[in-house]
Structure 1
Amino acid sequence: MIRRALIISSALLLVMGLAACNESGSKPAGNAGAGGAAQQAAPVGVVTLKKDTYPITTILPGRAEAFQVADIRPQVNGIIREIAFKEGGEVKKGDLLYQIDDAAYRAAVEQAQAAISKAQASVPSAQSNFDRYQRLVGSGATQIEFETARTALAQANAEVEAAKAALTAAQIDLDHTKITAPFDGIIDQTAYNIGNVVAANQSTALTTIRQLDPIYISLTESSTNLLKLRDAIAAGDVKGEDNNIAFRLILEDGREYNQKGKLDMSKQVVSETTGTFIIRVVFPNPDRVVLPGMYVRATVELGAEAGYALPQLATARDANGRLTAQFVSAEGKVETRVFENASPSNNSWLVTQSVKDGDQLIVSGLQSIVSGMPVKPVPMKINDNGVVVPADQPVAGGEQKPAAK
């Protein structure tokens, strides 16, 4: 028992000695560390906001469609003698595509021409006989003979006209042995080769031609959003040239297409399968950058509004779907602001409340900060590609108007 009490007493004395050393040496160092941590501030990139007028835009998804599509089929029977195009190449309106053997059709034309000559040969005789009976009627010729002569003349003229019609039909068939392009476009591969027999108006197409300049873009959106678009169009808020609505196209790789499109009023329907509203836009496509089947997005301006543009890269959504952004408060700390109403403006959100001139929006370093944390603002800009860069780098179009991607 005595030995056990001595061990416990020794342990207590050792603990008390260590505590005393900690109070004399470690405590001041601990206070200094805590004070240093409280003074550190994380650097974050910021842009200074200023009220301005920005476009209100909407982005509609869509697919590219050929302006015209034609399945090429023969209109006469025969054997393909020549294929005059390069598969996958460009053809012009009127270019020869297929030549069907035309020997039989040339013979038919010559036969029709001979039939015209034969019919015309009988006309002078019938005309002379008619003239004679017309002079003699009532004085040596009966009325019946006169009527017979007039009928014979009419029949001779009718035979000439019938022969001419037969020649026209034969010539049409001969012309149809040359199958030509109905418009400028790109031609597919051929389904038939030289020596194949084809039939008039067969179900299988010989090939297909697609006109790609201009090109259609079929856009789809919910009926609610499209109703807003139509209201903006009716109110005259939608901007365009010569009273035409101007659409800008964003390609699959995020690049903006260098041509502007116009609304095609010929097709505005609601899809029976999805219930979405479909509108069609026409875009020039001289270099065939846009091809049928491509997925694209089209941007249209619905007017303009004064406010503050928050780049989309600096915003987020909370659990309730509300737009949020991080700002530097007057105390130099992170402040989270919630915006109930925001309108799309190219690659930014346009807000009119909870912001004032001079507010600093945090645009970089967002992953390493939390609300209430002290930060050190570093001036930044958004370049034309929507990338955050230091403020001393030049940027076209203004600090708060990053180019749409």
Structure 2
Amino acid sequence: MSDDAIGEGSAGGSARRTFRTRLDEQVTEVDDEVASRRKRRSEPLARSEPMLPNRNATEVQPPVARRSRRGWIVALLLVLAAAGAALWLHPLQVQQQSGHRGGGRFRGGGDLAQPVAVASVTQADIPIVLEALGTVTPLSTVTLRAQVSGQITQIGFTEGQNVKKGDFLAQIDDRTLTASLHQWQGQLEHDQALLADAKLDLDRDLKLTSNAITQQAVDLQRATVQSDEGTVVSDQAQIEAVQVNIANSHITAPADGRIGLRLVDQGNYVTPGDSTGIAVIAQMSPMSVLFSLPEDSLAQVLEQTHGNAGLKASLFDRNDTKQIAEGALQTIDNQIDPTTGTVKLRAVFPNTDGALYPNQFVNVHLLVRTLTGVSVLPNAAIQHGAPGTFVYQLNDDSTVSVKTVTLGPGNATVTQLLAGLPQGAKVVVDGVDRLKDGAKVTVPDNGAAPAPGGSGAAPQPQATGEGSAAGGAPAASAGNNTPAVNPAGAPAMSNGQGTGPAGAGAGAAGDASGGKQGHRHHRDGNGLRNGGAGNAGAPDNGGDSGASQ
């Protein structure tokens, strides 16, 4: 036992002896007071004092009631004294307990090694993905509107029906238009007859001798023929216009797609000026998605495309958990929005299964490039503080050293290591909150978990921990939160559920990512959007919850 502990124990014993002495003195004083009162009651009354009548005898309290009251007073004094002693001694006990715990946390652990979990610096492929929020937008959206005025006499579609271009949709009453067509056809025949007569007169005038008819008459007849020809052409134009209106009264689908709800019922009178229209047709396949990226990300997109589209794009649902479609980048807008500092992009998806719906909210993952065969560092090992960006490297003598590192782009699980550590170096991924430069640590034989590859949905590096040497407590299990059973039969706790200062198992974070990790939030070398690792349970606490770094 250390001198500090002996001194604190002596101080506690002296305090308890002082408290007992004071309590004995208070009890003695109470007993003396009670004996004095009994003696006064036992003395006979003076002869000069008259005897009280019997009728007033009821006003004197009996001895039993007085003894009961004195017992309550004594009990109350004892309770108050015990409460004061507890409050007086409690700060000393808290100070002693905090002193025992603080020895390992604030003094570098003293002679006790801290249990940690480590992972190795390895090589892997890192996909660089840009994420954005997008809206599903059809490539073609058509609102059916009447081009002629009239009453709707027939509806030829069902709401929600998939239609093809040219399919019949609605009919407007065209009887007035048909009558107008017949009228103009009759007028055309009349004007054609006049034109034929004028041409005959012109031929006869040209055959006559110059003495029989003047040149003025010939010119006048020639002008009459030309006038009749213009009238015939005008009649033909009027007929064509009426025929177009008759065709417009027979409404057909202008494009392939799915027709929406009917906006006008049969029997209503419609005009070309109606704003609502009859129905809306939206093209469902292929389907496009509009999304925006910050202008800072535009350079790396243009670098890979050189102005041409073709980057792979993946769509996830609004919760960013389930992939629903894959497609390609089609086009990039030609200007940046000055109000938001973003640029719009359009990606196209086949949508053969109909999973995408117009105006649907989705998450777009645009794969810009893939870093192949680069050194990667688990995100759980990366720390930020006064030295800058650093990690705790495990040395051969079971101590840790602070190493500053230079990082590149990364994803939700790993980050590219540019400089600072050699290949295969072991870094602490769990238990870093109890460490400092030069602190002693313990790791299990299988504590060095290889860092995962960065491609696809690679799993987080597995972090394993062990119990401290004292007490032989079970080691914490790695992986999921399922309790494991140690050889002694006691369940090992996961996720930092170690208890007690006697070497209880330190919990290893099974995911080393601290909750959701911002789910698929990737970094481009400048941002730090990775999720933090869940802290392992220290021997003096029940484990810290994962916190985003």
What is the TM-score with the length of structure 2 in the denominator?
0.55
1:193 and 2:261 correspond: no
Residue of structure 1 in register with 2:163 after alignment: 91
Once the two structures are superposed, what CA deviation does each residue of 1:161-194 show, in whole Å capped at 9, x if it has no partner?
1111011100111111122222222222122101
Tell me, in whole angstroms, the C-alpha distance in 1 between the residues paired with 2:293 and 2:145.
37
1:133, 1:231 → 2: CA distance?
Answer: 81
Whether the aligned pair in 2 keeps the contact of 1:262 and 1:283 (CA below 8 Å) is no
For residue 418 of structure 2, what is the aligned residue in structure 1?
Answer: 352
2:122 corresponds to 1:60 = no
Give RMSD over aligned pairs. Answer: 3.8
| Aligned-residue offset at 1:152 | 2.0
Corresponding residue to 2:321 among 244, 254, 278: 254
Q: Which residue of 2 aligns with 1:394?
A: none
User: 3-state SS of the aligned residue for 1:152?
Assistant: helix
Question: What is residue 442 of structure 2 aligned with on the other side?
Answer: 374
Q: Structure 2 CA distance, aligned partners of 1:134 and 1:306?
A: 97
Q: Deviations over 1:335-357 (max 9, x none)?
A: 77654432035864222223433
Are the counterparts in 1 of residues 145 and 278 from structure 2 also a CA contact under 8 Å? yes
Deviation at 1:358, TM superposition (A): 2.7
1:232 CA displacement: 4.7
Contact 1:322 1:340 in 2 (8 A): no
**Aligned-partner SS, 2:122:** coil
User: Which whole-Å CA distance do the structure 1 matches of 2:253 and 2:386 have between them?
Assistant: 58
Give a deviation string over 1:141-176, Cα, whole Å, max 9, x none: 221221222122212222221111011100111111
Instruction: Please state if 1:125 is matched with 2:191.
Output: no
- Secondary structure of the residue that 2:419 maps to in structure 1? coil
Partner of 1:301: 368
Could you tell me how far apart the structure 2 residues matched to 1:279 and 1:262 are?
8
Q: Specify which of 406, 409, 416 is matched with residue 343 of structure 1.
A: 409
Deviation at 1:195, TM superposition (A): 0.7
Structure 1 residues without counterparts, runs of 5 or longer? 1-7, 12-36, 237-242, 391-403
SS in structure 2 of the partner of residue 167 of structure 1: helix
Q: Greater relative contact order: 1 or 2 (C-alpha under 8 angstroms, separation 6 or more)? A: 1
User: Equivalent residue for 1:181?
Assistant: 253
Select the residue among 333, 342, 356 that pairs with 1:276: 342
SS in 2 for 1:341: strand
Letter in structure 1 aligned against 2:283 = Q
Asked if the contact 1:61/1:297 (under 8 Å) is kept, the reply is yes
Paired residue for 1:205?
277
Within the candidate set 286, 289, 309, 1:217 is matched to 289
Provide the rounded CA distance (Å) in 2 between the counterparts of 1:184 and 1:327. Answer: 62
Any conservation in 2 of the 1:58–1:302 contact (CA below 8 Å)?
no
Q: Does the 8 Å contact 1:50/1:357 carry over to 2?
A: yes
Higher mean alpha-carbon deviation, 314-323 vs 225-234, is at: 314-323
Q: Distance in 1 between matches of 2:413 and 2:324?
A: 16
Paired residue for 1:4? none
C-alpha distance in 1 between matches for 2:403 and 2:252? 66
Give the conservation status (yes or no) of the 8 Å contact 2:164–2:253: yes
Q: Residues of 2 paired with 1:322 and 1:167: CA distance?
A: 84
Q: Which amino acid aligns with 2:176?
A: A
CA change 1:52–1:149 in 2 (3 A) is same
Whole-angstrom CA distance in 1 between matches of 2:353 and 2:281: 17
Any idea what the Cα deviations from partners look like across 1:83-114, whole Å, max 9, x if unmatched?
A: 22222232222222221112222222222222
Equivalent position SS for 1:128: helix
> In the alignment, is the contact (CA less than 8 A) between 1:95 and 1:181 conserved in 2?
yes
Separation (CA, whole Å) in 1 of partners of 2:419 and 2:367: 24
In 2, Cα distance between equivalents of 1:195 and 1:51: 72
The DSSP-based 3-state class of the residue aligned with 1:110 is: helix
Query: Within 2, Cα distance between the matches of 1:167 and 1:226?
Result: 56
* Change over 3 Å in CA distance of 1:324–1:123 after alignment to 2: farther
Match of 2:243, SS? helix
Taking the aligned partners of 1:222 and 1:320, their CA distance within structure 2 comes to 30
Which structure's residues are more often strand, by fraction? 1
Question: Aligned in 2, Cα 1:214/1:321: closer, same or farther, shift over 3 Å?
Answer: farther
Q: Which runs of 5+ in 2 are unaligned?
A: 1-13, 18-110, 463-519, 522-549
Q: Percent identity between the aligned chains?
A: 22
2:148 corresponds, among 59, 65, 76, to 76
**8 Å CA contact retained: 2:316, 2:325:** no
User: Aligned with 2:158: secondary structure?
Assistant: coil
Aligned length: 349
Q: Which residue of 1 aligns with 2:217?
A: 145
* Segment drifting more, 270-279 vs 373-382: 373-382
